[in-house]
Amino acid sequence: MGSEAERCNIRPLSLRQACAEVKAPMIGAYLHIPFCAYKCHYCDFATSTRTEEFGKRYCQILEREIKDRLSEAADKPHISTVFYGGGTPGLLDIEYLNQIHGTLLKNIVLLTDYEISLETNPETVTREKAKIWREIGINRLSIGIQSFNDSELTALGRGHSSTDAIKAIEIASDVGFDNINCDLMYGLPGQNLTSWQNSINSFIKLANKYPQIKHVSAYGLELSPAAPLIKMIPLGSNAYPSEEVFEEQLKYLVTALEQAGFMQYEISNFAKSGYECRHNLNYWKQGEYHAFGVSAHRYIKPYRSSNWRSLGRYLDDCLTNETCELIDQDLARTEAVMLGLRMNDGLNLKLFKQSYGEDLLDTHKEIIEKLIAHNLLAHTADRLKLTILGQPVANTIIGEFLQ
Ligand code: SF4
């Protein structure tokens, strides 16, 4: 029996053949793979643990959706970033992933300076799989580590340990990934400031050993009413860190990561210089993107639309949108405020005025002065930025600009 690469008929050259040197606006492509090995207690994403039952059919339908949606355009779209998100795309049988990726490449023009990310969890990273991910052109691996404390991982319902996370980084680095992202989480039940500091310190030790780690996404736990964790540990329980501890956790995160060379460029994202996630930057800068798969959202101006969130509906009818919304000037303005204030570069007031005809320093003078006086907001070089004190209350501050 041949290797997995032979069995799947992997041809690395096909990627190079699909690439082109074209100066075009940045457009991304998102592909949603909804399968997970288990359901984490905090998650309300559109995921399914029935990979065996639905995996093959899902991938066939996804390929059909890619072909049909992209064939509607007069020309193949020029794509510079591709993101396999989920779910756990790393769980997918390599044969299916290769087929989907091949179909995508046939229907787009991939720009030479591409970024192709794949999300996975530590326990799915095997040497053989990781090698094939590299061979088919994935050049950024995003690993859901969440915590280096095993009891916190158990409380979240994660199916891996901190040892699995370290092993996954070692394998990914060994097979040639030189742009690895680690996901971390704070504000967890049972987590205090010291255990969070220990997790961050373990991460920094690992990042020093493996300079291939270039990026960190660190999210404060936010639970939707549908998250199973709420039933297990109700909101308001003492098990969750207090607001003060949550703020201290964020401060420690920002300071420790910056000292380790990971600069914050968005509230929840940190990168070594030049390794900011280009796919996400495109979202935050209100750029266009195609999207395929159950519950996937696309933005091809002027419409944002989404596929069916129900796996069954999507499998029956992958080309009908569940939602479709015209992004008019009002909505674009709202999003520019929300996204701009989350970025460390801040909201560009001059550009905002050019785009929406509104001088925020005029229309929101009072609130801006109040926020600056409380050291929650800073106004420098024609930009408005959240301070470190403003970041934990970002949603409240943003809300002030939406009125
Ligand atoms: S692995 Fe990720 S997508 Fe899957 S259930 Fe857990 S949090 Fe949700």
Q: Which residue has the higher pLDDT, 7 or 156?
A: 156
Q: How far is the CA of 262 from the centre of ligand 1 (A)?
A: 25
Residue 322 lies in a domain: no
| Residue ranges with strand state E in 257-338 | 263-266, 269-271, 288-292, 297-300, 303-307, 321-326
pLDDT of residue 1: 39
Note the pLDDT of residue 74: 75
Q: Which residue has the higher pLDDT, 125 or 7?
A: 125
What would the two tokens of residue 95 be?
A: 């044969």
Shared domain check, 83 and 202: yes
CA distance 232 to 156: 10
pTM of structure: 0.93
Inside any domain, residue 60: yes
Pocket test for ligand 1, best of 32, 33, 39, 91 (most atoms within 8 A of CB): 39
Residue 278 and residue 367 share a domain: no
**For 69, what's the count of Cα atoms within 13 Å in the CB-facing half-sphere?**
27
Q: Which of 33, 40, 156, 309 to mutate to test the pocket of ligand 1 (most atoms within 8 A of CB)?
A: 40
Confidence bin at 393 (pLDDT 50/70/90): very high
| Residue 133 domain flag | yes
Same domain, 356 and 256: no
The proportion of the chain whose per-residue pLDDT surpasses 90, expressed as a percent, equals 90
Closest CA to 150 of 142, 158, 141: 158
Do 128 and 212 sit in the same domain of this protein?
yes
Pair type for strands 180-186 and 140-146: parallel
Q: How far is the CA of 98 from the centre of ligand 1 (A)?
A: 22
Asked whether residue 301 is assigned to any structural domain, the reply reads no
Tell me, in angstroms, the distance from the centre of ligand 1 to residue 92's CA. Answer: 14
Nearest CA to ligand 1 atom 6: 40
Domain co-membership, 253 together with 360: no
Q: Does residue 15 carry a pLDDT above 60?
A: no
| Nearest-atom index, ligand 1, CA of 42 | 7
157 and 259 together in one domain: yes
The single-letter DSSP state of residue 376 is S
Ligand 1 atom nearest the C-alpha of 121 is: 1
Could you tell me the two tokens for 244? 């003060």
Last residue of a domain, one of 263, 283, 303: 283
Last residue of a domain, one of 268, 283, 298: 283
What CATH code is carried by the domain that includes residue 123? 3.80.30.20
CA gap 329, 302 in Å, rounded? 10
Least confident of 45-54, 77-86, 95-104: 45-54
Which residue, 283, 301, 333, sits at the end of a domain? 283
87 CA closest ligand 1 atom index: 3
Structure tokens at 86: 């989920």
Q: Ligand 1 centroid vs 229 CA: distance in angstroms?
A: 13
User: What HEC string does 257-272 produce?
Assistant: HHHCCCEEEECCEEEC
Task: Please give the angle made by the CA atoms of 194, 196 and 197, to the nearest 5 degrees.
Answer: 65
- Strands 180-186 and 213-220, by their bridges, are parallel
pLDDT grade, residue 240 (50/70/90)?
Answer: very high
Q: DSSP alpha helices (H): ranges in 19-76?
A: 51-71
Atom of ligand 1 nearest to the CA of 157: 6
SS3 313: helix
Cα(39) to centroid(ligand 1), Å? 6
On the question of pLDDT at 6 being above 70, the answer is no
Domain annotation covers residue 62: yes
Closest CA to 241 of 375, 390, 121, 392: 392
On whether both 269 and 359 belong to a single domain, the answer is: no
Q: What is the pLDDT of residues 258-288, one digit of tens each?
A: 999 999 999 999 999 999 999 999 999 999 9
Domain that holds residue 354: 346-403
Atom of ligand 1 nearest to the CA of 38: 5
For residue 148, tell me if it sits in a domain: yes
pLDDT exceeds 60 at position 22: no
CA of 294 to the centre of ligand 1 (A): 15
The answer as to whether 292 is a domain residue is no
Please tell me the total count of domains within the chain.
2
Give the residue, by CA position, lying nearest to ligand 1 atom 8: 43
Give the distance (Å) from ligand 1 centre to CA of residue 124: 13
Ligand 1 neighbours (beta carbon < 6 A): 36, 39-40, 43, 45, 47, 86-88, 121, 144
Determine the atom of ligand 1 nearest the C-alpha atom of 119: 2
265 in the same domain as 148: yes
Q: What is the DSSP letter of 73?
A: S
- The residues with which 84 forms a beta bridge, in sequence order, are 31, 118
Q: Which residue(s) pair with 120 in the sheet? A: 143
Shortest-distance atom of ligand 1 to CA 86: 3
User: Which residue's alpha carbon is nearest to atom 2 within ligand 1?
Assistant: 87
Tokens of 381: 């070089």
Q: Are 352 and 206 in contact (CB under 8 A)?
A: no
| Helices 94-107 & 127-135 angle (0-180, nearest 10) | 10
Taking alpha carbons only, the member of 72, 103, 203 closest to residue 143 is: 203
Whether residue 288 lies inside any domain: the answer is no
